[in-house]
C-alpha cells in the first residue's frame, strides 16, 4: 500500500456559486462516463481510495490542499447526479453537519423507493461513524459523513473530522467490499496531515484489549466508577494524560448501567449501544490497561495521499472557459455513447493517454 501524507488545513469561505454549478455538471459527466464504462461498483471503489478522491477534487477545481475539498466534492457529486440515481445505479446520502444527521432518513427513503435493505445500510452508516469517533480516538471530531451505495447494498463512506486545536482535517474512507469486520482495520484509507497521538482499538492483533473492554462494560457499574476515580488520582505514564483529562466517572455511571444490563457479546455490539461514546470507551480502555495489564494500541493508523486550477488561485486560478469546454466535451461524449456510439469515449481515452505521455 502506498503511504505518505497531505496537509488539509481549514480554509474560510465556500465555493462560489459560479464554480459549484460547474462542479456539479462536471461531476455528473464524470460519474455517468464511469458507470457506463465500468459500472457503479467501480465508482464506489474509486471514491473509497483517498488518492483517487483527492485527484477528483482537484479536477473539479477545488483547493487541492483544503479540508473543503472533501465536503464540496461530495456535495457536488450528490447534487450532480440528482434525478439520475436509478439510471446510474448510484445513490448518495448525508453530507456536512446537519446533512450528515439526515443520513438514516435518506436511507429509509431510498429503501422504500428501490427496495434496498435500508436497516442494513443505516447500521453500516452508524457503525462507521462510531468507529471513527470512539474506537479510533485521534483528536479529530467527525463533522462530515457521506454515504454512497448501490441498489444491491454495496456501500462506501467518506467522512471527515477536524482537529479544533491544529485546525487541520483528517478524512476516513470505507468500502463494504473491504470491510470484513467493522472493528478490525476496516478502512480502505485514512488521509491525514500528520501522525499524532491516538487511542486505536481497531488494530489487528489487539483482540485481547477489545475483549477485555467488552467484558469490563458488563461489570458492576459502581465498581467501575470507583476504579476510575482511583485512576484519576494516580500519576500515570505520560501517554495516558490525554485520555484522563476529560473523564468524569460519575457522569459515566448511567452509561455503565446500560452496558451492564445489555451485556454486549463483542466489541462491535458495545460500540452499537446508544450513549456509548469516546469517553466511555476511553475509560474502559484505561481500566483494561492500568488495572488488568492489557493495553490497547496507541499507534495512529493514518494512511495518505493536480487540471482546472483552484478557487484560491492555487496552483493557478480556475480557467472558466477551459472548465466549460471540458464539461461540454464530456456531455457530448455521453450523449453519443447513449445512442450506441462509443468511439468518442475511446477517443477520450486515447487523448488522455497521449496527454499523460506528453507530461
C-alpha cell at 70: 472533501
DSSP assignment of 320-338 equals HHHHHHHHHHHHHHHHHHH
Burial class (CB in 10 A: 0-12, 13-18, 19+), 8: buried
Percent of the chain with pLDDT over 70: 74
Claim: this prediction has a pTM higher than 0.85? no
In sequence order, what are the residues at sequence separation of 6 or more whose Cβ sits closer than 8 angstroms to the Cβ of residue 134? 271, 276, 277, 278, 280, 281
> Phi/psi of residue 161, each to 5°?
-120, 155
Whole-number Å distance between alpha carbons of 26 and 15: 15
Burial class (CB in 10 A: 0-12, 13-18, 19+), 35: buried
pLDDT tens-digit series, residues 348-358:
565 555 445 54
Q: Are 169 and 67 in contact (CB under 8 A)?
A: yes
- Coil, strand or helix: which one is 293? coil
Q: For residue 25, what is the DSSP state?
A: H
The strand ranges marked E within the chain are 91-96, 136-137, 141-149, 155-163, 168-175, 189-191, 199-200
In sequence order, what are the residues at sequence separation of 6 or more whose Cβ sits closer than 8 angstroms to the Cβ of residue 149? 44, 90, 91, 93, 107, 110, 116, 121, 155, 156
Mean pLDDT on 139-147:
95
pLDDT tens-digit series, residues 9-51:
555 556 678 778 888 988 898 898 888 888 999 999 989 988 7
pLDDT tens-digit series, residues 289-327:
888 889 888 888 765 433 333 444 444 455 566 556 555
Percent of the chain with pLDDT over 90: 50
Q: How many separate helices (H) and strands (E) can be counted in the chain?
A: 16, 7
Q: Residue 38: its pLDDT value, please?
A: 85
- Coil, strand or helix: which one is 297? strand
- Coil, strand or helix: which one is 92? strand
Q: Residue 4: its pLDDT value, please?
A: 42
C-alpha cell at 198: 491516538
- Which residue carries 446500560 as its cell? 258
pLDDT tens-digit series, residues 94-124:
999 999 999 999 999 999 999 999 999 999 9
Amino acid at each position: 500500500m502506498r503511504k505518505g501524507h497531505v496537509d488539509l488545513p481549514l480554509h474560510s469561505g465556500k465555493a462560489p456559486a459560479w464554480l459549484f454549478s460547474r462542479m456539479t455538471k462536471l461531476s455528473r459527466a464524470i460519474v455517468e462516463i464511469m458507470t457506463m464504462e465500468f459500472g457503479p461498483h467501480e465508482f464506489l471503489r474509486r471514491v473509497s481510495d483517498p488518492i483517487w478522491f483527492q485527484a477528483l477534487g482537484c479536477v473539479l477545481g477545488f483547493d487541492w490542499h483544503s479540508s473543503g475539498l472533501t465536503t464540496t466534492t461530495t456535495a457536488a457529486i450528490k447534487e450532480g447526479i440528482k434525478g439520475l440515481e436509478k439510471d446510474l445505479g448510484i445513490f448518495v446520502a448525508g453530507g456536512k453537519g446537519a446533512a450528515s444527521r439526515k443520513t438514516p432518513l435518506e436511507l429509509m427513503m431510498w429503501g422504500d423507493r428501490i427496495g434496498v435493505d435500508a436497516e442494513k445500510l443505516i447500521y453500516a452508516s452508524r457503525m462507521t461513524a462510531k468507529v471513527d469517533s470512539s474506537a479510533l480516538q485521534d483528536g479529530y471530531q467527525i463533522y462530515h459523513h457521506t454515504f454512497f451505495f448501490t441498489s444491491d447494498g454495496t456501500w462506501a463512506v467518506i467522512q471527515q473530522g477536524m482537529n479544533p486545536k491544529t485546525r487541520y482535517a483528517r478524512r476516513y474512507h470505507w468500502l463494504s467490499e473491504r470491510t470484513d469486520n467493522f472493528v478490525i482495520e476496516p478502512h480502505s484509507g485514512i488521509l491525514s496531515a500528520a501522525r499524532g497521538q491516538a487511542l486505536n482499538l481497531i488494530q489487528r492483533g489487539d483482540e485481547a484489549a477489545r475483549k477485555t473492554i467488552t467484558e469490563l462494560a458488563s461489570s458492576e457499574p459502581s465498581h467501575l466508577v470507583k476504579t476510575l476515580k482511583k485512576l484519576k488520582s494516580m500519576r500515570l505514564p505520560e501517554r495516558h494524560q490525554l485520555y484522563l483529562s476529560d473523564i468524569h466517572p460519575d457522569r459515566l455511571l448511567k452509561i455503565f448501567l446500560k452496558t451492564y444490563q445489555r451485556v454486549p457479546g463483542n466489541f462491535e455490539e458495545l460500540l452499537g449501544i446508544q450513549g456509548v461514546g469516546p469517553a466511555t470507551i476511553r475509560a474502559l480502555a484505561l481500566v483494561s490497561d492500568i488495572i488488568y495489564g492489557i493495553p490497547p494500541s496507541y499507534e495512529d493508523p493514518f494512511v495518505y495521499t493536480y487540471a482546472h486550477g483552484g478557487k484560491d488561485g492555487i496552483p493557478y486560478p480556475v480557467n472558466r472557459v477551459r472548465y466549460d469546454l471540458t464539461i461540454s466535451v464530456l456531455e457530448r461524449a455521453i450523449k453519443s455513447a447513449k445512442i450506441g456510439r462509443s468511439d468518442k469515449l475511446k477517443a477520450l481515452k486515447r487523448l488522455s493517454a497521449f496527454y499523460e505521455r506528453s507530461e
